[in-house]
Structure 1
Amino acid sequence: MLPTSDLTQTADFYRSFARDQAVGESATYVEWGEGVAADEELLGRLAELEPPRRQPNLLFAAARWHGAPAPGGYRPMRDLVLREWPQVSATMRRRSTQTNEPGRCATLLPVLAEIADGAPLALLEVGVSGGLCLYPDRYAYLYLDEDGHEVAEVGAGSPTFECVVDPVAAAHLPDASPHVRWRGGLDLSPLDVTDPQTLDWLRVLVWPEDVARRARLDEAVAVVGREPRTTVQGDAARDLGPLMARAREEAPDARLVVFHTAVAAYFDQALRAAWPEQVARLCAEHDAVWVSNEGPTVLPGVAASAAAPPPSARHFCLGVDGRARAWTHGHGRSLTWV
């Protein structure tokens, strides 16, 4: 078991998750997060895992994977986890929270269209997971104002992602999606979303009450799951440069965009600290643009350039070449320009 101070840190992590991330999004995860934070026995089991494997989303997805009812109360989840801890912990060691949320394309689209400016794009995603965010041109988008009135509709078909925009963001919406000529991604463990078990895992990563989001995930897989892309299993610190060179070689007339969403939080501390300088250097070498969409504390230098604070602790900071452009909902449901 970890020293008391480390157990306290884990408890604080779960409590913060419940109060800052899950509140207003999932009543189940609010109850589960608060429950774990006050549960010394379960905290002790979590202490057997490496720190990156103790995160709430991973525990809760593993519990659901092994049969915990969700939506549901804390006690049934706790009893299942403790009863089947060898199996649950094995899943937590083997799998990751590679939430492949295509709805984030709704908040990426305005900056991608701005970067394209009529030219084709080459999209290279760091932390590509199953690749669903590489196809912003294949989805439809409905942008609404804060009163729910339609502001713009881009693209057609299914899935359609809704996104609430403020008046300034509305002025930056494109008339059409940019053309994507090349798509590629880098991941420590790329996923094949056409594999039924992999897709089932992605489904349990969607929070319990978000039935519509799960349906859109399935729709996105049906549209782009088997579409071509260049996916490399590798490390961002070591392998990004060679993949950027490959993108340049295979799509020389396209504007290269290196992007990532909700990924840098999983970098180790050394890489996260070095990342802005490293990716800026690689982008300069390969004539590329860096787009980031991360929590404000993950890349604080990007968030610090915003002209206004985030609407809530759940919001991400959308940045272009290290400068804040907007605050975004973590699942792509809102866009506030800064």
Structure 2
Amino acid sequence: MRELPGLNASDQASIEELRTYYLHFAQVEAAGVSARYAAWALGVAEDEAMLQRLLGLPPAKRQANLLFAAARLHDVEAAEWAEASAQIEARWTQIEATMLERATQTNEPGRIATLNLAFAQIQAQERAPLALIEVGASAGLCLYPDAWPVRYRRQDDADVLLAPAAGELCSAVELSCELHGLAAPQALPQVGHRAGIDLNPLDVTAPQDLRWLEALIWPGMEHRIPRISAGAALVAESPPILHAGDLNERLAEVLDQVPAGMTPVVFHTAVLAYLSREDRLRFREQAEASGARWVSNEGLHVVEGIGEQLPLENDSESGFVLSLDGEPIARTAPHGQSARALRQ
């Protein structure tokens, strides 16, 4: 996932920047994952009228995931862009209103499988239970790494299945992650506190919020829908503390609420790309100065200083770089389905 285009003007440079963003989404993000979204993104890149419509929105609202999810929420499901474009144009007033109201809040519990690679390292070093704070938490579904059975697969070794103990909080759905050149964690982390920060926290017990989360799942990836349902059940059984507000404004306050005797862990996935460079730098400074452990799972060049450590990695591969306290650990797939060792 790459940084969003940020030019505010409506000139040709802004058009070209947005076109490049949608081409990258088609050729890297959606390619081989969602044929419909790859076709739609390519179509947007070649559609001058749609690019102009998008330039009429604030920069953070021009992203592909938001446009496509809003379109599908309003029943645009055509496979080909020519037909989808006509439907979007006819329903643009409603779609635009949804894009302005909503945000991309993909809450994919599958990412827990790769986040566990970092959580396991922290748990091995810090014996106390983890106090998890997720920034950009959406509905908080990724705050339960101790409650999801995870099957780690390696080509040259037997599967490793980690599962909660009998009687513990436990998801009805098992996650799966393929590892390449990496060892599986030895155990699920211990979690004693769950909190999240989001501009607009979602409530998975509210039908409209649950429907929005499902609309954010890409066509061709419907296998992810049961994870949303299972995650919603965990939230209903043991709700996290979700704080509404800007992550930079509320982080210190939320960290102050961590119970004594626990290890605070601030983490995020596919969140910082939506912030300005200045806000990303401010967040990193706060995270590093807080004394908390910091787990980042973002695009290669989203967090300044991460990509610079990895000259053999490049943006042609979809997914994220998982890092712990600013040190890269692994390259991870967008929805936690795999992780590989970094190219050194």
Shift of the 45–243 alpha-carbon distance from structure 1 to 2, 3 Å rule, reads same
For 1:279 and 1:198, the matched residues in 2 are separated by 29
Q: 1:175: how far off?
A: 3.0
Aligned length: 326
Aligned position for 1:116:
123
Aligned position for 1:197:
208
Matching of residue 239 in structure 1 with residue 261 in structure 2: no
Amino acid at match of 2:18: T
Aligned position for 1:41:
49
For 2:195 and 2:31, the matched residues in 1 are separated by 35
Aligned position for 1:32:
40
Matching of residue 95 in structure 1 with residue 106 in structure 2: no
Aligned position for 1:163:
177
Q: 1:237: how far off?
A: 1.6
Larger displacement relative to structure 2 (213-222 or 125-134): 213-222
2:193 partner SS: strand
Q: 1:151: how far off?
A: 2.6
- Contact 2:199-2:246 at 8 Å conserved across structures: yes
Q: Identify the match of residue 130 of structure 1 among 127, 139, 142.
A: 139
Q: Identify the match of residue 297 of structure 2 among 287, 293, 296.
A: 293
Larger displacement relative to structure 2 (58-67 or 75-84): 75-84
Amino acid at match of 2:152: Y
For 2:13 and 2:54, the matched residues in 1 are separated by 14
Q: Identify the match of residue 186 of structure 2 among 168, 175, 184.
A: 175
Q: Identify the match of residue 276 of structure 1 among 270, 274, 284.
A: 284
1:331 partner SS: coil
Larger displacement relative to structure 2 (135-144 or 6-15): 6-15
Shift of the 311–266 alpha-carbon distance from structure 1 to 2, 3 Å rule, reads closer
Aligned position for 1:331:
335
Among all aligned residue pairs of Structure 1 and Structure 2, give the percentage whose two residues are the same amino acid.
Answer: 40
- Contact 1:122-1:181 at 8 Å conserved across structures: yes
Larger displacement relative to structure 2 (211-220 or 189-198): 211-220
Matching of residue 76 in structure 1 with residue 83 in structure 2: yes
- Contact 2:294-2:324 at 8 Å conserved across structures: yes
- Contact 2:108-2:227 at 8 Å conserved across structures: no
For 1:174 and 1:145, the matched residues in 2 are separated by 12
Q: Identify the match of residue 263 of structure 1 among 259, 271, 274.
A: 271
Q: Identify the match of residue 218 of structure 2 among 183, 194, 207.
A: 207
- Contact 1:145-1:151 at 8 Å conserved across structures: yes
Aligned position for 1:253:
261
For 1:315 and 1:85, the matched residues in 2 are separated by 30
Shift of the 310–221 alpha-carbon distance from structure 1 to 2, 3 Å rule, reads farther
Q: 1:146: how far off?
A: 4.2
Q: 1:289: how far off?
A: 0.5
For 2:260 and 2:247, the matched residues in 1 are separated by 22
Aligned position for 1:216:
227
- Contact 1:132-1:225 at 8 Å conserved across structures: no
1:301 partner SS: coil
User: When the two structures are superposed, what TM-score results if normalisation uses the length of structure 1?
Assistant: 0.91
Amino acid at match of 1:105: I
Q: 1:98: how far off?
A: 0.5
Shift of the 210–142 alpha-carbon distance from structure 1 to 2, 3 Å rule, reads same
- Contact 2:120-2:188 at 8 Å conserved across structures: yes
Aligned position for 1:320:
324
- Contact 1:306-1:325 at 8 Å conserved across structures: no
Q: 1:310: how far off?
A: 5.6
Alpha-carbon displacement from aligned partner over 1:245-278 (angstroms, at most 9, x marks no partner): 111xxx2111111111111111122111333222
1:191 partner SS: coil
Q: 1:311: how far off?
A: 9.0
- Contact 1:194-1:226 at 8 Å conserved across structures: no
Shift of the 12–151 alpha-carbon distance from structure 1 to 2, 3 Å rule, reads same
Matching of residue 229 in structure 1 with residue 243 in structure 2: no
Alpha-carbon displacement from aligned partner over 1:281-324 (angstroms, at most 9, x marks no partner): 123xxxx1011000011014123334852695212111111110
Alpha-carbon displacement from aligned partner over 1:84-138 (angstroms, at most 9, x marks no partner): 1111100110000010011100001122122123431110111111000000111
- Contact 1:68-1:76 at 8 Å conserved across structures: no
How well do the aligned residues superpose, as a CA RMSD in angstroms? 1.8
Q: Which has the higher helix share?
A: 1
Shift of the 76–162 alpha-carbon distance from structure 1 to 2, 3 Å rule, reads same
More contact order relative to length (CA 8 Å, sep ≥ 6): 2
Shift of the 146–82 alpha-carbon distance from structure 1 to 2, 3 Å rule, reads farther
Q: 1:236: how far off?
A: 1.6
Amino acid at match of 2:113: A
